[in-house]
């Protein structure tokens, strides 16, 4: 794992953007994208820069089950607001949270992942070490599935909702196996509350208890962390 320590979130966004720019200039066509607070500085860089994304396809990690693009808490809405409405892409994929048929939706989405091999996968990390919505205990070779959110993730995400009861309990998420298919992986983590997860991801054993530890088995991973998130690394 290549670890880059930056001053803050804004510097991390610039660093991740450099990697994406370099990738696109060298032929990358498909980006794997994430939601949450972490990648916002990266998306702001993408919007501020004149790099053209009109030939680039994006494949997002996950979506809440039950929420559609008009729900302002859906990940599709988040992506439209924070990136796609301001930076046109060729094609953008997010799981369809409105499809009640989980078997159909997860198979459909994994096919999308296979038909659009991800050149650069952007990730954040949960305080419990999740990537996508792959919570502790998820299989390290899993494909897209319907997953139940843990209480820790519900608590962490409640800040975006009017109250905790509104946080959906299920999501469709690319699996850890789907994520590992990405040719290059860039994970960003900012803030002290991520320091334990970052330490376990980098220095702990590869274990389903800490889903991001699976990235140790990938040959091209860059971790961008601020000083607080890096503070427990030895
Ligand atoms: C988002 C996602 C999640 C987040 C993680 C960190 O699409 O898949 O794994 O990356 O929960 O969230 P933030 O960035 O809000 O701390």
pLDDT per position as a tens digit, 105-127: 999 999 999 999 999 999 999 99
What residues form DSSP beta bridges with 31?
58, 120
ipTM metric? 0.99
Q: Using one digit for the tens of pLDDT, what is the confidence trace for 136-159?
A: 999 999 999 999 999 988 998 898
For the question of residue 62 being annotated catalytic, the response is yes
- pTM exceeds 0.90: yes
What the chain holds in terms of domains, given with CATH numbers, is 2-196 (3.40.50.1360)
Helix (H) or strand (E) holding 18: helix 9-25
Q: Using one digit for the tens of pLDDT, what is the confidence trace for 124-141?
A: 999 999 999 999 999 999
From residue 48, give the alpha-carbon distance in Å to each of 29, 82, 135: 20, 12, 33
* Ligand 1 atom closest to Cα of residue 173: 8
For the question of residue 99 being annotated catalytic, the response is no
pLDDT at 152: 87
- Residue 40 CA to ligand 1 centre (angstroms): 11
Largest CA distance in the chain: 46
* Ligand 1 atom closest to Cα of residue 62: 7
* Ligand 1 atom closest to Cα of residue 60: 7
Check pocket membership of 135 for ligand 1, CB cut-off 6 A: no
Check pocket membership of 129 for ligand 1, CB cut-off 6 A: no
Residues ≥6 apart with Cβ < 8 Å to 48: none
148 SS3 class: strand
For atom 9 of ligand 1, which residue has the closest CA? Answer: 132
pLDDT at 136: 96
Residues ≥6 apart with Cβ < 8 Å to 187: 122, 123, 124, 125, 131, 201, 212, 215, 221, 222, 223, 224
For the question of residue 115 being annotated catalytic, the response is no
From residue 167, give the alpha-carbon distance in Å to each of 79, 128, 153, 156: 18, 18, 10, 10
pLDDT at 156: 87
Banded pLDDT at 187 (limits 50, 70, 90): very high
For atom 10 of ligand 1, which residue has the closest CA? Answer: 124
Rounded Cα gap, residues 176 and 134, in angstroms: 7
- Residue 166 CA to ligand 1 centre (angstroms): 18
The full length of the chain comes to 234
Rounded Cα gap, residues 145 and 95, in angstroms: 10
């Amino acid at each position: 794992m290549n670890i880059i320590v930056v001053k803050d979130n804004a510097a991390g966004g610039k660093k991740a953007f450099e990697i994406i720019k370099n990738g696109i200039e060298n032929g990358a066509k498909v980006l794997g994208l994430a939601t949450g607070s972490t990648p916002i500085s990266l998306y702001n860089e993408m919007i501020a820069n004149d790099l053209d994304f009109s030939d680039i396809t994006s494949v997002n990690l996950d979506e809440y089950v039950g929420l559609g693009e008009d729900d302002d808490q859906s990940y599709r809405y988040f992506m439209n607001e924070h990136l796609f409405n301001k930076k046109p892409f060729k094609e953008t994929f997010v799981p369809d949270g409105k499809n009640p048929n989980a078997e159909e939706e997860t198979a459909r989405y994994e096919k999308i992942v296979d038909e659009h091999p991800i050149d650069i996968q952007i990730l954040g990390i949960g305080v419990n070490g999740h990537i996508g919505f792959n919570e502790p205990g998820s299989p390290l070779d899993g494909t897209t599935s319907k997953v139940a959110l843990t209480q820790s993730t519900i608590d962490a995400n409640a800040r975006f909702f009017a109250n905790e009861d509104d946080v959906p309990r299920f999501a469709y998420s690319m699996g850890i196996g789907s994520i590992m298919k990405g040719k290059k992986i860039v994970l960003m983590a900012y803030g002290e509350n991520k320091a334990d997860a970052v330490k376990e991801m980098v220095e702990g054993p590869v274990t389903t208890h800490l889903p991001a530890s699976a990235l140790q088995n990938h040959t091209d991973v860059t971790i961008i962390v601020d000083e607080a998130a890096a503070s427990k690394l030895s």
